[in-house]
Homo-oligomer: A and B are copies of this chain.
Amino acid sequence: MKKLVETIPNFSEGRNPAKIKKILACFENASGVTLLDHHKDPDHNRLVVTAAGEAGALRNAVLRAVDTAVKTIDLRKHKGEHPRIGAVDVIPFVPVGGTSMEEAVALSRSVAKEIWLTSRVPVFLYEESAVHPERKNLPDIRKGEFEGLSQKMKDPKWKPDFGGPSPHPTAGAVAVGARMPLIAFNVNLDTDSMAIAGAIAKAVRHQGGGLRYCRAIPINLRKRGIVQVSMNMTNYVETPLYRALEMVRSEARRYGVTVTGSEIVGLVPLDALVQSSAYYMGLEDFSAEQILEVKLGEAKG
């Protein structure tokens, strides 16, 4: 089995087609790397790339893209709704297909070091790669954004993990780290009460005393006349999807509300589906190796 890593780098350019094209080309033209998706948003003024490949090939592609972004994006002139600290705001690495979290962490740190050495952009390590516990949480690193970075980095608590002591004049800084794949998982309820959806969201999310790797908010699906508990599952291995679903169902029961359905938005790791089948069907000793299409996909690779 090939050891694959996914990366979802966020670049602070969502408007200029020529600059966006240059950044995407770093992934499209890289042998051993697959550009899975990209999303540009003019309001956020941000480009989110999804790519995957083996560690070495992916490392080179990311470094080329960072270099391109640093040379073409000037944060002093950048405006957008999404908070950001640099020309490249954040580079998450996600272990998939046979890669361990440790290997993804090692990759992220090696990329972080090289970014400072070649592009002279200071780097903060976050999430699983964080050396300082107070840098685990990305929003804490982003607080103050590019505009406040120079002042923030004077505080010894915010000395970068690589580089410094000042931000790059035009490209700011970047957060780099390994994290679990994030699954967007929504559960629909047969009520139009946002109060009920809100109470359930609070009950299941970590912040409210619920599941450790679950963020949740209520959403109003006005067109359908129902509400939804919209969740971000930040570690599906430790907090499986089915557990969140069953908890929503159980909490809903006290309001006489039932679950009408659910949805997964975007990509989901195969393991998360295997987990759910194993739980609901009570499958003993089942592994993803038994799945026919995956076996074929691999053998052809």
Show the binding face of A for B, using Cβ within 8 Å. 2, 4, 6, 34, 36, 52, 96-97, 181, 188, 241-242, 245, 259-264, 266-270, 273-274, 276-277, 280-286, 288, 290-301
Quick one: closest B residue to A271, CB to CB? B293
Q: Nearest 7 CB-CB pairs, A to B? A: A297-B297, A280-B280, A270-B293, A261-B282, A34-B299, A300-B301, A261-B284
B36 x A295 contact (CB < 8 A):
yes
List of B residues within 8 angstroms of A4 by Cβ = 296
In the complex, the answer to whether B283 meets A270 with C-beta atoms within 8 Å is no
13 further contact pairs, Cβ within 8 A, besides A36-B296, A97-B296, A273-B277: A34-B296, A36-B299, A96-B292, A97-B293, A242-B281, A261-B283, A262-B281, A263-B284, A267-B290, A268-B291, A277-B277, A277-B280, A297-B298
- Bound-state Cα–Cα, A260 to B283, Å: 9
**A290→B184 CA distance, assembly (Å):** 12
Complex interface: chain B residues within 8 A of A97 (CB): 292-293, 296
Q: Would A34 and B242 count as touching, CB distance under 8 A?
A: no
CA gap between A4 and B281 in the complex, in Å? 28
A66 to B273, CA, bound (A): 39
Contact flag A282-B260 (CB < 8 Å), given A181-B292, A274-B273, A277-B273: yes
Contact of B52 with A296 in the complex, beta carbons under 8 Å:
yes
Whether the pair A269, B293 counts as a contact (CB closer than 8 A) is yes
A270, B292: Cβ atoms closer than 8 Å: yes
**In the complex, what's the smallest C-beta–C-beta distance from A237 to chain B, in angstroms?**
14
Chain B proximity of A285: nearest CB distance (Å)? 7
